């Protein structure tokens, strides 16, 4: 194989795209001598997260289409045109040996430019319902790495490789004992504990449902670690003031301990979150976000529900049903055990290494 490879990785917009991309990059660095360049979307979180992880990134002015008001898409089309031109220049200057797309606004122009320049491409689709960008890029991609079975309805069957979604190594390597993990949050080691997490910005429905009835958890001796995200301000701490066994925080830096402490996790149904829950074997109640393309979080959640590996409450049902469902589940140890077993059976381990195996085989094939 060649001495040093140039590898382009594009995508982002959410942690669900960025964390898998960084996991793939880290695995590539462990196994190949390579230069890695990320291409993201200007003003999106990848422009901060990728450099923080030690990688170079360049941004495109690309933005998402407004599906409700088509007239507002004129500036979006201008940004897309500029992004296509910039992506062509990036490909021409960087001369990648392979381009990897993880979904998100930036991956469309970047991977299209790479394909037009004859650069081999690999796609990573995190969700059970494929995104529009990956569907458009699929016909000219060498391989498509997926996390769910049955993706032949979106992609050519011969290109699909079932790899799972890469999960942050720190979560898997920090094997903490449940009692000690609870004590690290100032909680009692022996009491049942629920983790409620809605992402870095928060999930309004989860937060408002918990805010309305948080006292019931304390009254029943059920401990809560509740991550509100920054958009909920100080409403969470105010609602839980003086309650014993309730920890409320905008951000959890030690997610490994938070997961380890929990008997039950309440979460949105993003692909990365689900992969983490699968790898850790955590019983979960999923509340899919209604604000995502093609309602893919509901489809992600149903893939688990159909294996009795999770319980789902819709966003619309959550204000009335969420807390009652959590209280019912947390007291049913047998059900939690069954769900924990079933979700762990769905895990695809070492996904980052499996994806890198595919990347290396494409690189080798180019040299033959």
Query: Does 150 share its domain with 31?
Result: yes
Q: What is the pLDDT of residues 177-204, one digit of tens each?
A: 999 999 999 999 999 999 999 866 558 8
Query: Does 174 share its domain with 186?
Result: yes
DSSP three-state, residue 94: helix
Per-residue confidence (pLDDT) for residue 113, from 0 to 100: 97
Q: Are 188 and 172 in contact (CB under 8 A)?
A: no
- CATH at residue 15: 3.40.50.2000
Using a CB cutoff of 8 Å and minimum separation of 24, what contacts does 148-152 make? 148/303, 151/125
DSSP three-state, residue 177: coil
Structure token digits, residue 250:
């905008």
Low-confidence ranges of the chain (pLDDT < 50): none
Query: Does 208 share its domain with 271?
Result: yes
Q: Provide the number of structural domains found in the chain.
A: 2
Query: Does 99 share its domain with 174?
Result: no
Query: Does 87 share its domain with 195?
Result: no
Q: Are 285 and 313 in contact (CB under 8 A)?
A: yes
Strand ranges for the chain from DSSP E: 5-10, 34-41, 56-60, 98-101, 121-125, 143-146, 160-162, 193-197, 223-227, 246-249, 264-267, 284-286, 311-312
In this structure, are strands 121-125 and 264-267 parallel, antiparallel, or unpaired? Answer: unpaired
Query: Does 227 share its domain with 92?
Result: no
Q: Which domain holds residue 117?
A: 5-165+349-367
Compute the distance between CA of residue 129 and CA of residue 150 in angstroms, rounded to an integer.
10
Per-residue confidence (pLDDT) for residue 15, from 0 to 100: 67
Per-residue confidence (pLDDT) for residue 290, from 0 to 100: 87
Query: Does 129 share its domain with 174?
Result: no
Query: Does 46 share its domain with 10?
Result: yes
pTM equals 0.86
Q: Which residues pair with 57 in a beta bridge?
A: 38
């Amino acid at each position: 194989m060649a001495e040093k490879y140039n590898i382009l990785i594009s995508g982002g917009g959410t942690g669900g795209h960025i964390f898998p991309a960084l996991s793939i990059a880290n695995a590539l660095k462990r196994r190949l001598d390579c230069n890695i360049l990320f291409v993201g979307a200007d003003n999106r979180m990848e422009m901060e997260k990728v450099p923080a992880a030690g990688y170079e990134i360049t941004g495109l002015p690309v933005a998402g289409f407004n599906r409700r008001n088509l007239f507002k898409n004129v500036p979006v089309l201008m940004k897309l045109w500029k992004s296509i031109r910039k992506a062509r220049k990036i490909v021409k200057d960087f001369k990648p040996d392979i381009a990897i797309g993880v979904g998100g606004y930036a991956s469309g122009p970047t991977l299209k430019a790479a394909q037009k320049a004859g650069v081999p491409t690999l796609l990573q689709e995190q969700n059970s319902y494929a995104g529009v960008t990956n569907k458009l890029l699929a016909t000219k991609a060498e391989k498509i790495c997926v996390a769910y079975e049955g993706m032949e309805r979106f992609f050519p069957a011969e290109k699909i490789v079932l790899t799972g979604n890469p999960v942050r190594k720190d979560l898997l390597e920090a094997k903490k004992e449940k009692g000690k993990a609870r004590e690290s949050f100032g909680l009692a080691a022996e009491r049942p504990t629920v983790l409620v997490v809605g992402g870095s910005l928060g999930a309004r429905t989860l937060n408002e449902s918990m805010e309305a009835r948080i006292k019931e958890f304390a009254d029943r001796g059920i401990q809560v670690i509740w991550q509100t995200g920054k958009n909920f301000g100080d409403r969470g701490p105010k609602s839980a003031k003086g309650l014993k066994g309730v920890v409320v925080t905008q951000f959890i830096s030690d997610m490994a301990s938070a997961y380890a402490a929990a008997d039950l996790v309440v979460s949105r149904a993003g692909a990365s979150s689900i992969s983490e829950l699968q790898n850790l074997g955590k019983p979960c109640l999923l509340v899919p976000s209604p604000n995502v393309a093609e309602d893919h979080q509901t489809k992600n959640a149903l893939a688990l529900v159909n294996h009795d590996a999770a319980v789902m409450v819709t966003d619309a049902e959550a204000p009335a049903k969420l807390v009652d469902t959590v209280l019912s589940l947390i007291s049913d140890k047998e059900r939690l055990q069954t769900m924990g077993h079933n979700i762990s059976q769905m895990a695809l381990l070492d996904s980052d290494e499996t994806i890198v195996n595919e990347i290396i085989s494409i690189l080798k094939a180019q040299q033959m």
